[in-house]
């Protein structure tokens, strides 16, 4: 199984290695995570482990979220039990705020088990997945690094406009905009994976991972950290 864990970005800082070099690192609060489900090839068609991170108050959780982690009484469950249908095992924990699946064999993990940062010991590089910072609706200069219009000589109050879009004439593309044209629009808040990041340190006492460099998202962003299989 590929080693992995869920976490939350705390922020960035710097540390010094044994040679005295200054290393910029991202601090990630990783785990402890509860094993909510174990997918098998026979039943689900693939192998994976579903992890949950950070408890969610039951008063804020929906009934489906509560029933996903604990056995709650319902007419449907009563009928299934009376018919002799095996009810899937539950983790018997609080509802989780962040739930993700990690593909691969369970490697001895069972529903209800706990995964902490000690699972990442011996891992040298990781792949970090998260959402980038959301910047809202932005112009073409900010979104696509356009240079803008000239600052003088005939340009009046359109310095940050994107300029001509091309292919507007009827005999050049039918007057339709080409797909994928760089234009203003929503920028950021996209799912991004940064591969092959060096795992500098694992702090088991404080449940922290120190990763070299910057990871996606602002402080507080939920992250998925997996052992990297990158081959250069």
Specify whether 23 is located in the same domain as 112: yes
Domain assignment of residue 160, given as a range: 135-187
Instruction: With a cut of 90, say whether residue 106 has pLDDT above it.
Output: no
Specify whether 22 is located in the same domain as 73: yes
Residue 231: pLDDT band with limits 50, 70, 90: confident
Phi, psi of 102 (to 5 degrees): -115, 120
Q: Tell me the two tokens of residue 4.
A: 């992995």
Please tell me the pTM assigned to this model: 0.82
**Closest-CA residue to 192 (of 214, 217, 226, 160):** 217
Residue bearing the bigger pLDDT, 12 or 174: 12
Residue bearing the bigger pLDDT, 70 or 146: 146
The residue-averaged pLDDT of 203-216 equals: 93
Specify whether 30 is located in the same domain as 142: no
**Domains identified in the chain, total number:** 2
We report the CATH number of the domain holding residue 15 as: 2.40.30.10
Specify whether 68 is located in the same domain as 121: yes
Specify whether 8 is located in the same domain as 120: yes
Q: Does any domain span residue 52?
A: yes
Specify whether 30 is located in the same domain as 105: yes
Instruction: With a cut of 80, say whether residue 133 has pLDDT above it.
Output: yes
Q: Does any domain span residue 74?
A: yes
Specify whether 97 is located in the same domain as 202: yes
Asked if residue 32 has a cis previous peptide bond (ω within 30° of 0), the answer is: yes
CA atoms lying within 13 Å on the CB side of residue 60? 7
Q: Does any domain span residue 232?
A: no
Phi, psi of 142 (to 5 degrees): -75, -35
Specify whether 165 is located in the same domain as 207: no
Specify whether 145 is located in the same domain as 121: no
Specify whether 46 is located in the same domain as 82: yes
**What pLDDT, in 10s, does the model give residues 17-53?**
888 899 999 999 998 999 998 888 888 899 899 999 9
Outline where DSSP puts E strands in the chain: 4-16, 22-30, 33-39, 48-55, 96-103, 114-115, 125-131, 137-138, 185-186, 191-203, 208-212, 222-227
Q: Would you list the DSSP string of 161-204?
A: --------STTTTTT-PPTT---SEE-S--EEEEEEEEEEEEET
Specify whether 166 is located in the same domain as 212: no
Specify whether 117 is located in the same domain as 163: no
Q: Does any domain span residue 142?
A: yes
Q: How far apart are CA 8 and CA 224, in angstroms?
A: 9
Mean pLDDT of the chain: 88
């Amino acid at each position: 199984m590929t080693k992995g864990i869920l976490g939350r970005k705390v922020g960035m800082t710097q540390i010094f290695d044994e040679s005295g070099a200054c290393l910029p690192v991202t601090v990630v609060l990783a785990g402890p995570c509860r094993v909510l489900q174990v997918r098998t090839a026979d039943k689900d068609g693939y192998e994976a482990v579903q992890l949950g991170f950070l408890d969610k108050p039951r008063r804020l959780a929906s009934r489906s979220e509560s029933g996903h982690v604990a056995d709650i009484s319902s007419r449907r469950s009563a009928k299934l039990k009376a018919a002799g249908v095996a009810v899937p095992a539950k983790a018997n924990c609080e509802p989780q705020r962040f739930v993700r699946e990690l593909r691969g064999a369970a490697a001895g993990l069972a529903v209800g088990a706990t995964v902490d940062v000690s699972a990442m010991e011996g891992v040298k590089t990781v792949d970090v997945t998260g959402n980038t910072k959301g910047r809202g609706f932005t112009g073409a200069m900010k979104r696509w690094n356009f240079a803008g219009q000239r600052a003088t000589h005939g340009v009046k109050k359109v310095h940050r406009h994107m300029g001509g879009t091309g292919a507007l004439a009827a005999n050049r593309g039918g007057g339709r905009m080409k797909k994928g044209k760089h234009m203003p629009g929503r920028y950021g808040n996209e799912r991004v994976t940064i591969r092959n990041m060096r795992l500098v340190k694992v702090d088991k006492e404080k449940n922290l991972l120190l990763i070299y460099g910057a990871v996606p998202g602002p402080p507080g962003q939920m992250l998925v950290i997996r052992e990297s299989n990158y081959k250069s």
